[in-house]
Structure 1
Amino acid sequence: MTRPLKIMLVAAEASGDALGAGLARALKGRLGDQVAFVGVGGPRMAAEGVATPFDIAELSILGWIEGLRAYGTVKRRVQETAALAKRERPDAVVLIDSWGFTIRVAKAIRAARPNVPLIKYVGPQVWASRQGRARTLAGAVDHLLALYAFDAPWFEREGLATTVVGSSALHVNMDEANGAAFRVRRGIAEAARLLLVLPGSRPSEIRRMTPVYEETIRKLKTVDPRLEVAVVAAGTVAEDVAGRVAAWPFRVHLVDEAEKYDAMRAATAALATSGTVSTELALAGAPMVIAYKIDGLSYQLMKRMVTARHITLFNVAADDRIAPEFIQHEATPALLAAAVGRLLTDPAAAGEQARRQMAALDLMGRGGPDPSELAADAVLRVIAEKTGR
């Protein structure tokens, strides 16, 4: 009897943890006890049997300045991850999202184990900036699992074999999400306006965005004191969010991951830090305003490189500013309150934005096959091609 396949999965933040968990489930669905996992991840991957040697929260780094401050930590964790690969000798390594960390891990593992297949799950957004990363990735890994069709040509031009698997965020089953039940559980009247705030999943996002959102809500509640507010606390930063929100001078409904989709369905409008949640909100039919800030120096450096007109993926797919975006110096409480206030008080505008958001998701591949299943197929295919197993 042949030994089980051993697959190493490496994720460094909450979104990658979710992708890794989905991939692990799909692989177990195919192979049962003939697959085993090692790697680095968060609580979702741990629940699927991927034990992690360290807390990935310390790797949720955004911007050049934070990257420089965390350089020693990142370097140490890269070495530990490469050592794990050398010790465990997996049949393949899947490196999930988190460009800065995973590209270093790819190079370190390649040096330690030159023949192990390396698969990148989610490529850098070279259509937005730093197109040279496509060539860097092509030289570091054997295969790319891309989320969107518009990703693939950038990497295939550099000779990197690419499989488009789609985004798991497009396949969230909102049919079971119950907004009415959420309102009943929280004592929110059916006709009450409910603002859902999603501050992010990285510690730096929480630190930077929650003060802005607090003041934004304060302005909105000055106009409408009866406005209900719910805040989502993502798993990796839940304690931090809860502690900050507890100090806000108005009532807030704190929402955990288990209730997140119910809350999205219940929301009149949403205010979100840019990320995967924008796609989930659109699927739930929630009109939204997007905000984002990084440290000032990183922004000045990034501004010179970014060529994309939008940062929200369904805006990119539609090539249109469907959901308002407020980036860096534009992400002020006054501007955010005005944009959110329009969605809260103008049902026609909110409904039209929700409809256009959903249409843009169709351009991104909504309704296609399960991405985790396609990713599992691709991983097994690469292993078979590279190792004969």
Structure 2
Amino acid sequence: MTEPLKIMLVAAEASGDALGAGLAKALKARRPDVSFVGVGGPRMAEQGVESPFDIASLSILGWIEGLKAYGLVKQRVAETVALAVAERPDAVVLIDSWGFTIRVAKALRAQLPGVPLIKYVGPQVWASRPGRARTLAGAVDHLLALYAFDAPWFEREGLATTVVGSQALHVDMSGADPVGFRRSHGIASNANLLLVLPGSRPSEIRLMTPVYEAAVARLKASDPSLEVAVVAAGTVADDVAARIASWPFRVHLVAEAEKYDAMRAATVALATSGTVSTELALAGVPMVIAYRFQPLSYALMKPFFTGKYATLFNHAADQEIARELIQKDATPEKVAAELGRLLSDPVVRAEQVRRQTAALDLMGRDAADPSTLAAVAVLNVIATKNAGA
């Protein structure tokens, strides 16, 4: 008789929470006897992962911000490792969130040397700090990579890697209702709609919303009929709503539940760099990408940036399909100019959408379900370990 499985899943951000929930569901479909322990958010909790603490405080970006939160991160790492030691899982899956999960991995390697450690989503070494590939290879047993262009970086360091694909490429938007979205928000069917996605981290909201407000104000000054909607991601929804309330023009606040309706309804999007750019491309929306770090954090990190592009489909295509405005280029004037170029010319919009879609194909849009592939890989790692034992 097969022994029941206990798997530990660890996620520290909203995106990792979604990946962990998908993986847990896929694992249960293959092994109904599986149980879970770990760290995560509300979506993982729905799948049976009861977190010992709220992960919202771990959503940190930048070196300076990380230094400020070091004490808290150290405490949460200790609590996570203590949970693993108490529960003795058959494997630990560490999801995204490099700064947190690499600390957990190193501590677990020391305290539970026989337990397989699996990293789900590697650091983007193609973009910056390629030395992290070697660091990860020395800390875990297996990597579940999102894209084919990730794998060689880690395999060169001797880390077994399985490419499972990105869940962002498999978002089902067939049920999205762009007509209903416009109707419910009082937006005319022929009106230009700018969708603003300011991010999901508190630091992103703090740094980007002032830039976006000023950029949209410029656009509204030249075209008062422009409609504007802002997506409030679940983890920062209250912060976004409070900031948007003071904008001196009408804004439609978009809840997480109607995000895809809004994407399909949008004429153009303005997004803080991240996974959302892939979702927007799937929705067929031309976009402009912007991003700012804290100035000192950026100065410290800049020498380690090695990639040409921050946006995944730009990297896959090796060309700037969506305009990227990073740090000093992320000014209201430049953001407004790039958005204005798209809003004013449907031919330019259509061409960008075509190129975005072609880049998604390069990223593996038609591959199998990533959660399924990830679950199979996790079970294979456990089976290999047991066979060796």
- TM class by smaller structure: over 0.9
Q: Deviations over 1:52-78 (max 9, x none)?
A: 111111111111100110100100000
| Counterparts of 2:3 and 2:337, CA distance in 1 | 60
Runs (4+) of structure 1 moved beyond 3 Å? none
Structure 2 equivalent of residue 125 of structure 1: 124
| Counterparts of 2:328 and 2:197, CA distance in 1 | 19
How far 1:367 sits from its partner (Å)? Answer: 1.1
Q: How does 1:72-151 map to 2 (within 5 A)?
A: 72-151=71-150
Question: Runs of 5+ in structure 1 lacking a partner?
Answer: none
Structure 2 equivalent of residue 7 of structure 1: 7
Q: Deviations over 1:177-198 (max 9, x none)?
A: 1211111111111001100000
**Structure 1 residues 241-250 or 351-360, which shifts more?**
241-250
| Counterparts of 1:242 and 1:49, CA distance in 2 | 30
| Counterparts of 2:21 and 2:29, CA distance in 1 | 12
How far 1:4 sits from its partner (Å)? Answer: 2.6
The 3-state SS of whatever aligns with 2:270 is strand
Q: Which amino acid aligns with 1:249?
A: P
**Structure 1 residues 125-134 or 98-107, which shifts more?**
125-134
Structure 2 equivalent of residue 282 of structure 1: 281
How far 1:387 sits from its partner (Å)? Answer: 2.4
Q: Which amino acid aligns with 2:27?
A: L
How far 1:49 sits from its partner (Å)? Answer: 1.3
Residue 302 in 1 paired to residue 301 in 2? yes
Structure 2 equivalent of residue 292 of structure 1: 291
**Structure 1 residues 321-330 or 108-117, which shifts more?**
108-117
Question: Runs of 5+ in structure 2 lacking a partner?
Answer: none
- Percentage identity across paired residues of the two chains: 76
Q: Which amino acid aligns with 1:131?
A: P
The 3-state SS of whatever aligns with 1:197 is strand
The 3-state SS of whatever aligns with 2:31 is helix
Q: Which amino acid aligns with 2:14?
A: A
How far 1:300 sits from its partner (Å)? Answer: 1.3
The 3-state SS of whatever aligns with 2:236 is helix
Q: For this pair of structures, how many residues does the alignment match?
A: 388
| Counterparts of 1:49 and 1:210, CA distance in 2 | 35
| Counterparts of 2:157 and 2:2, CA distance in 1 | 36
**Structure 1 residues 246-255 or 99-108, which shifts more?**
246-255
| Counterparts of 1:292 and 1:333, CA distance in 2 | 12
Structure 2 equivalent of residue 208 of structure 1: 207
Structure 1 equivalent of residue 23 of structure 2: 23
| Counterparts of 1:253 and 1:54, CA distance in 2 | 33
How far 1:212 sits from its partner (Å)? Answer: 0.8
How far 1:337 sits from its partner (Å)? Answer: 0.5
The 3-state SS of whatever aligns with 1:275 is coil
How far 1:3 sits from its partner (Å)? Answer: 4.8
The 3-state SS of whatever aligns with 1:342 is helix
The 3-state SS of whatever aligns with 1:126 is coil
When the two structures are superposed, what TM-score results if normalisation uses the length of structure 2? 0.98
| Counterparts of 2:342 and 2:45, CA distance in 1 | 39
How far 1:233 sits from its partner (Å)? Answer: 0.9
Q: Which amino acid aligns with 1:212?
A: V
The 3-state SS of whatever aligns with 2:284 is coil
The 3-state SS of whatever aligns with 1:130 is coil
Structure 1 equivalent of residue 243 of structure 2: 244
How far 1:50 sits from its partner (Å)? Answer: 1.0
The 3-state SS of whatever aligns with 2:228 is strand
Structure 1 equivalent of residue 264 of structure 2: 265
| Counterparts of 2:363 and 2:7, CA distance in 1 | 29
When the two structures are superposed, what TM-score results if normalisation uses the length of structure 1? 0.98
Structure 2 equivalent of residue 361 of structure 1: 360
Structure 2 equivalent of residue 333 of structure 1: 332
Q: Which amino acid aligns with 1:22?
A: G
Structure 1 equivalent of residue 255 of structure 2: 256
| Counterparts of 1:241 and 1:387, CA distance in 2 | 48
The 3-state SS of whatever aligns with 1:37 is strand
Q: Deviations over 1:279-319 (max 9, x none)?
A: 00000000000000001111112211111111000000000
| Counterparts of 1:379 and 1:256, CA distance in 2 | 34
| Counterparts of 2:213 and 2:151, CA distance in 1 | 40
Q: Deviations over 1:97-141 (max 9, x none)?
A: 010000000011111211111000000111112111111101100
The RMSD of aligned alpha carbons is: 1.1
| Counterparts of 1:369 and 1:178, CA distance in 2 | 26
Structure 2 equivalent of residue 170 of structure 1: 169
The 3-state SS of whatever aligns with 2:161 is strand
The 3-state SS of whatever aligns with 1:145 is strand
Residue 226 in 1 paired to residue 225 in 2? yes
Q: Which amino acid aligns with 1:260?
A: K
Structure 1 equivalent of residue 193 of structure 2: 194
| Counterparts of 2:386 and 2:64, CA distance in 1 | 41
